[in-house]
């Protein structure tokens, strides 16, 4: 297929596809799916080999969020029967993180519900970061606390944070349909604050909220301009008790096409399969490893994920290997003064003059963590046929009852 050959060539050269090409990927048929996966897989292997980075979520504060994000189980007015608790103490969070690190994770993502942190909250999280790093010197720590005020990103970096997550979630034109208590521009501003502070920016999206193909392409192109080092791709977890509980729009094939499109648009960034992979990819999860080079290990913020042992077996059976703590995730050009260090600006993948400044949506959470807080053009593609609606499978949505905030051992 000429389209796929063109996209592979562009991906290997870090060139941006056209919008028509990105839309055409989403419009491919199921008969063409394996060709799409194989093509995007060439780009993934070129930049990341067969390594899979493992990330581990610690929900520092669960539920009772004042924001009204429709996808989120922790939102204002949510009737989802999730765990609710206030801030974990630093030693409690450190113990929770240790479980994920023992399972092979190299990055710990510290997430808290809420619009954004107070200065006291930043102090709490700073103490938690220090506690984790005292026990695990080489661990990467990503914070996901919602909208940042001036100076807070710098304080988190001084405390030892390596990255900050805040997802864009959906296109700017439709953002007001899913959230009214903050704006798309607020989210962009927080990602830029993380960049400016020297933190590795993590920002992604949620698919399956009723968006169009054009919305998906819009948000991914916006992410490319913002230049995050990691792009979490969440698939909506339709929690009962939230406004989007009836949105079962995704098939495994649709999820794979979305991941392939993200890989083609951002060829050399860490593409992470975040919340919802077990619910929507199901038995086709191993194919997604040919597109993404990063996943969350074990459970999410308010929902349970695949058993950590099953994650590791899946990676090995698919012919991939867990990325070691001493291995650098990003290609050298992104860490040697490029995107990784944020010293040179550039657009995601190409670093040729674009704008410069671990989420799991999980039906609720913040940022990278499932939605979260408040990381020669081709002819125009024909409109994508409506994806056949996925059968509702609410039985696959299991509320987290173990790990952080409970007396039960975490899943890692």
Active site residue ranges: 65, 69, 72, 109, 142, 202, 272
| Pairing mode, strands 294-296 and 270-273 | parallel
State which H helix or E strand residue 207 sits in: strand 205-207
Residue 321 and residue 337: Cα distance in Å, rounded? 27
**322-326 long-range Cβ contacts below 8 angstroms, 24+ apart:** 322/51, 322/52, 322/54, 322/104, 323/51, 323/52, 323/53, 323/54, 323/106, 323/293, 324/106, 325/106, 325/138, 325/139, 326/138
DSSP class of residue 367 equals: T
In sign, the C-alpha dihedral spanning 343, 344, 350, 353 is positive
For 108-139, letters b (16+ CB in 10 Å) and e give bbbbbbbbbbeeebbebbbbbbebbbeebeeb
DSSP class of residue 165 equals: E
Three-state secondary structure call for residue 127:
helix
Residues facing 59 on adjacent strands: 111
Helices then strands, each counted (H, E), the chain? 13, 10
Per the rule left: phi > 0, alpha: psi between -120 and 50, beta: everything else, 241 is: left
Residue 119 and residue 126: Cα distance in Å, rounded? 10
CA 305 to chain centre: 15
Residue 222 and residue 244: Cα distance in Å, rounded? 24
Residue 147 and residue 222: Cα distance in Å, rounded? 18
358 and 142 Cβ atoms separated by less than 8 Å: yes
Per the rule left: phi > 0, alpha: psi between -120 and 50, beta: everything else, 354 is: beta
């Amino acid at each position: 297929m000429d389209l796929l050959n063109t996209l592979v060539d562009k991906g290997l050269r870090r060139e941006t596809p056209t919008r028509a090409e990105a839309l055409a990927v989403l419009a491919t048929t199921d008969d063409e799916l394996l060709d799409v996966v194989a093509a995007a897989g060439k780009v993934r292997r070129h930049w990341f080999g067969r390594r899979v980075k493992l990330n581990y979520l610690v929900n520092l504060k669960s539920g009772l969020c004042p924001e009204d994000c429709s996808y989120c189980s922790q939102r204002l007015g949510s009737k989802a029967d999730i765990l609710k608790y206030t801030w974990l103490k630093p030693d409690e969070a450190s113990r929770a993180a240790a479980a994920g690190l023992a399972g092979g994770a190299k990055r710990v993502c510290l997430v808290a519900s809420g619009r954004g942190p107070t200065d006291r909250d930043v102090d709490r999280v700073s103490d938690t970061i220090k506690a984790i790093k005292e026990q695990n010197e080489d661990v990467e720590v990503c914070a996901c606390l919602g909208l940042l005020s001036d100076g807070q990103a710098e304080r988190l970096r001084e405390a030892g944070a390596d990255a900050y997550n805040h997802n864009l979630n959906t296109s700017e034109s439709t953002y007001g349909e899913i959230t009214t208590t903050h704006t798309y521009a607020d989210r962009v501003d927080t990602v830029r604050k993380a960049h400016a502070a020297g933190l590795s920016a993590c920002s992604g999206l949620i698919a399956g909220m009723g968006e169009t193909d054009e919305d998906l392409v819009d948000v991914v192109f916006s992410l490319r301009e913002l230049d995050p080092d990691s792009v979490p791709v969440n698939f909506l977890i339709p929690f009962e008790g939230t406004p989007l509980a009836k949105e079962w729009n995704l098939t495994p094939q649709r999820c794979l096409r979305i991941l392939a499109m993200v890989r083609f648009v951002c060829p050399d960034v860490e593409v992470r399969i975040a919340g919802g992979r077990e619910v929507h990819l199901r038995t086709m999860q191993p194919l997604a490893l040919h597109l993404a080079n990063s996943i969350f290990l074990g459970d999410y913020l308010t929902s349970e994920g695949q058993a950590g042992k099953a994650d590791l077996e899946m990676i090995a059976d698919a012919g991939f290997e867990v990325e070691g703590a001493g291995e650098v995730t990003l290609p050298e050009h992104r860490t040697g003064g490029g995107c990784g260090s944020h010293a040179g600006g550039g657009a995601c993948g190409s670093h040729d003059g674009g704008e410069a400044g671990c989420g799991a949506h999980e039906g609720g959470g913040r940022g990278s963590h499932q939605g979260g807080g408040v990381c020669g053009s081709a002819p125009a593609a024909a409109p994508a046929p409506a994806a056949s609606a996925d059968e509702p499978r609410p039985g696959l949505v299991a509320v987290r009852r173990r790990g952080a905030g409970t007396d039960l051992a975490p899943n890692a």
